[in-house]
Amino acid sequence: MSFLELDRVAKQFGPQTVVDDFSLTVGKGEFVSFLGPSGCGKTTTLQMIAGFLDPSRGAIRLEGRDLTAMQPAKRGLGVVFQSYALFPHMTAAENVAFGLEMRRVPRAECRERVRAALEMVGLAGYEERYPRRMSGGQQQRVALARALVIRPSVLLLDEPLSNLDAKLREDMQIELRQIQRNLGTTTILVTHDQNEAMSLSDRIVVMNQGCIEQIGTPQETYERPASAFVSQFLGKTNDLAATIDLSATPRRLAAGSWSVPAPAGIAGPVTVSIRPERIGFGDAGIAAKIVTRIFQGNHWLFQCESECGPVIVIRQNDGQPQPAEGEAVRLAWRPEDMSLRGAGGVA
Amino acid sequence: MSAAVDTAPANIAATADTRDGRAPWALTAPALMLFVGVLVIPLAMTVMLSFHDWGQYKGIEPVFILKNWREIATDPYYAEMFWRTFRIALLTTLITAMFGAPEAYILNRMSGRWKSFFLLVILGPLLISVVARTLGWALLFGGNNGLVNKLLMSLGLIGSPLPFMFTETGMVIALAHVMMPFMVLSVWTALQRLDPQIENAALSLGAGSFTIIRRIVLPQIMPGVLSGAIIVFSLSASAFATPAIIGGRRLKVAATLAYDEFLNTLDWPLGAAVAVLLLVALVLIVVGSNALIERRYAEVFR
């Protein structure tokens, strides 16, 4: 089943371990994102797959064959770089044709495939343009066409959208996803943008300091973060200190004046992690005062000072009246919307 | 009253305009005067001088005649001199390009500390006088017992000593060494503008290292090589110290010829004519090749 397999891959630069114990299997046609802050080793991992770097330990296999023993030029992977790395002295068509020329594809077929690739990325008619005379978005499309025209077994994208402005990035995300679905190319995307990772990927690999924090679908990583790092990195979250009240029977989990029956198998001080959009204003719950209220179009953002520390709340702008700044409120949430982390990690 | 109010801002605008018009001239005046004083006037005087007459006993006569120019145009001695000058400059340029471009490429691929060390090694000779560097070559060449000849003979590459002193070969070798830093610097600058991922991009598309250099790197650093070539060519063609030491009296080039006319024959007008011709030829070659390069690479590197 596994198409691309990374088996306990590690990379060291001198004494510094940049990637450690990285194991992942990617299925054919899957879209996987490596997500993490800069310096977490995601690009290093991608470069090891591409062959620009050799892993210090571990193996990388593609359809069972060992990739690390293969020259990067022979791996047949498509790579799109953050800087696009287009050849500035070649036209768009020449850029796209380069990989085919290296494969000695007959001229007529080559011309046809270049035309089809440029058309696929919406650049029909731009064949004779030089990269310098194209916008960032167009250059990016040329880079994508150049990587895809060789029909790569795996497409590697290294922060391909980070140089584009917000609107264009959103359009490109949708387009990228469509192209990837149509072609069924196994794709690995490196990004530090959690929205990008979530909207594009089948699975997300959240990385921090060279280690995998969590592998899961976008929904899993968002709803059930495996660590404090994941919950902080993927979207906004509130971490509240809570205690288990051992004197009550059954035992109760309490944060300030809010409490629920404690789940089994957990003791001692815990952290309650709760997404801002899952908190509601009610009659019961922890007491808080609204410090600032920010209108953001489709939703309201409230910064509250609660008895358990600062809490942010996001409410849909559904036309209902919202509490004003300075108003005293009570914050509540459904027990299934929170995740608990004890001192020993995941509960 | 309203008229007075209306014209006041207009006056201010007018004075501002005139001030804006004069300010650039006033600000550039010192530099312009220096430029005119130390470059334009002496140059004009040299051009004038080339039309004056000269005789062994009468000295320089400030008349307007074409004698010097006619002599240069008709006497094959001068044609030979100029051909030699440009042949040496061209060979020097080719050699510096052939060695300098790979040198800069290798330098660029070195890591941190080694890079700065070797950059210093390459640029270091610029801190030493050209005369000292050329005299070093003269010592190495030094007739039949020179170090270079001894080395080549002990390696069995040549049977008998090669003449280096007073030959074009020796001059080209010494000039190429003197000019190398300019070529390396020029190519290095072009390499700095290369996208660091571009070779990886070519690699991922299936290109071998030779193809990458030929099809990806070389076309992009070509403007650097060519601008380096223009610098090296014009400096070599007008070089004086190196040809004077290696070539001496026996093998003259345009610059040493002009020097000899000025200081040995004391025929200043003829020397001036040689110098002016060298200048005009160089300007034409440099401007012409620059225009060609700009047209060739305009589309790609704007």
Provide the residue ranges of all domains of chain A, joining segments of one domain with +.
2-233, 238-346
What is the predicted pLDDT for the residue at B301?
56
Q: Tell me, what's the pLDDT at B17?
A: 55
Nearest chain A alpha carbon to B200: A52
Q: Residue A181's CB: how many other CB atoms inside 10 A?
A: 12
Pairing mode, strands A154-158 and A78-80? parallel
Q: Is the pLDDT of residue A344 over 70?
A: no
In a domain, B204, yes or no: yes
Shared-domain flag, residues B10 and B89: no
**Residue A232: C-alpha distances to residues A158, A197, A273 (Å):** 23, 15, 9
3-state secondary structure (DSSP) of residue A294: strand
Contact B197/A85, CB-based, under 8 Å? yes
pLDDT above 70 for B18:
no
- At residue A343, the pLDDT reads 52
Please tell me the predicted confidence (pLDDT) of residue A108. Answer: 95
- What is the predicted pLDDT for the residue at A347? 37
Whole domain around residue B127: which residue ranges?
75-297
Mean of per-residue pLDDT scores for chain A: 89
3-class SS at B36?
Answer: helix
Report the share of chain A in percent with pLDDT over 90: 58
* A238-346, CATH topology level: OB fold (Dihydrolipoamide Acetyltransferase, E2P) (2.40.50)
Q: Per-residue pLDDT for B16 more than 70?
A: no
Residue contact A130–B299, C-beta within 8 A: yes
Share of chain B above pLDDT 70, in %: 91
- Please give the pLDDT value at position B79: 93
Angle A236-A242-A243 from CA coordinates, rounded to 5°:
165
> Do B42 and B82 belong together in one domain?
no
What average pLDDT does this structure show over B264-270?
90
Instruction: State the average pLDDT for chain B.
Output: 88
- Pair B256, B116 in one domain: yes
Number of domains in chain B: 2
- What is the distance in angstroms between the Cα of B205 and the nearest Cα belonging to chain A? 5
Q: What is the reported pLDDT for A1?
A: 54
Whether the per-residue pLDDT at B1 is higher than 60: the answer is: no
Which chain A residues contact residue B219 at CB under 8 A?
89
Report the residue of A44, A47, A89, A162 to disrupt the B interface, i.e. the one with the largest count of B CBs within 10 Å: A89
More confident residue, A246 or A53: A53
Q: With CA atoms as reference, report the closest residue to A204 among A226, A183, A182, A185.
A: A226
Q: In this predicted model, what pLDDT tens digit does every residue of A77-135 receive, in sequence order?
A: 999 999 999 999 999 999 999 999 999 999 999 999 999 999 999 999 999 999 989 99
Predicted pLDDT of residue B164: 85
User: pLDDT band for position A203 (50/70/90)?
Assistant: very high
**pLDDT at position A180 over 90:** yes
Choose among B214, B215, B195, B200: nearest CA to A75.
B200
pLDDT reported for residue A270: 82
Please, which residues have CB within 8 angstroms of residue A30's CB and are 6 or more apart in sequence?
A3, A186, A187, A202, A203
Q: Residue B301 gets which letter from DSSP?
A: -
Pure H helices in chain B: 2-35, 41-49, 67-74, 76-109, 112-123, 130-141, 147-154, 168-192, 198-204, 209-211, 218-237, 241-242, 254-263, 268-297
Residue B8 lies in a domain: yes
| B220–chain A Cβ distance below 8 A for any pair | yes
Q: What does the alpha-carbon distance between residue B120 and residue B131 come to, in Å, rounded to a whole number?
A: 20
* Torsional class of A345: left (φ above 0), alpha (ψ -120 to 50), beta (otherwise): left
pLDDT of residue A148: 95
CB-neighbour burial class of residue A190 (10 A; exposed 0-12, middle 13-18, buried 19+):
buried
Distance from CA of B214 to the nearest CA of A (A): 12
Question: What is the CATH superfamily name and number for domain A2-233?
Answer: P-loop containing nucleotide triphosphate hydrolases (3.40.50.300)
Cβ of B200 and A72 within 8 Å? yes
**pLDDT tens-digit map of B99-151:** 999 999 999 989 889 999 998 998 888 899 999 999 999 988 886 778 888 88
pLDDT score of A149 more than 70:
yes
Stated as kind and residue range, the H or E segment containing A310 is strand A309-316
Confidence check: pLDDT of A263 > 80: no
Domain identity same for B101 and B209: yes
Averaged pLDDT, A193-198: 90
B60 in any annotated domain:
no
B281: CATH:
1.10.3720.10
Q: Which residue is it, tokens 């280690």?
A: A211
How far apart CA A229 and CA A206 sit, in angstroms, is 9
Number of residues that make up chain A: 347
- In a domain, residue B54? The reply is no
Please give, one letter per residue, the 3-state secondary structure of A139-204. Answer: HHHHHHHHHHCCCCCEEEEECCCCCCCHHHHHHHHHHHHHHHHHHCCEEEEEECCHHHHHHHCCEE
Shared-domain flag, residues B116 and B22 = no
Say yes or no to pLDDT of A249 above 90. Answer: no
Is residue B140 in some structural domain?
Answer: yes
What confidence score (pLDDT) does residue B5 get? 45
Instruction: Return d(Cα A19, Cα B285) in angstroms, integer.
Output: 56
Q: Which of A234-243, A262-271, B157-166, B185-194 has the highest mean pLDDT?
A: B185-194
- Per-residue pLDDT, A241: 83
Distance from B101 to chain A by nearest Cα, in Å? 18
Q: Which helix (H) or strand (E) holds A93?
A: helix A92-102
Q: Are residues B275 and B186 in the same domain?
A: yes
pLDDT in tens, B36-89: 999 999 999 999 999 999 888 888 888 899 999 999 999 999 999 999 999 999
Q: Is the pLDDT of residue B6 over 80?
A: no
Q: Is residue A339's pLDDT more than 60? A: yes
CB distance B206–A50 less than 8 Å?
A: no
Instruction: Give mean pLDDT, residues A264-275.
Output: 78
Q: Touching check for A104 and chain B: CB below 8 Å?
A: no
Interchain contact, B216 vs A87, CB within 8 Å: yes
- Quick one: pLDDT at residue B15? 53
Location of structure tokens 């992977």: A77
pLDDT category, A245, cuts 50, 70, 90?
confident
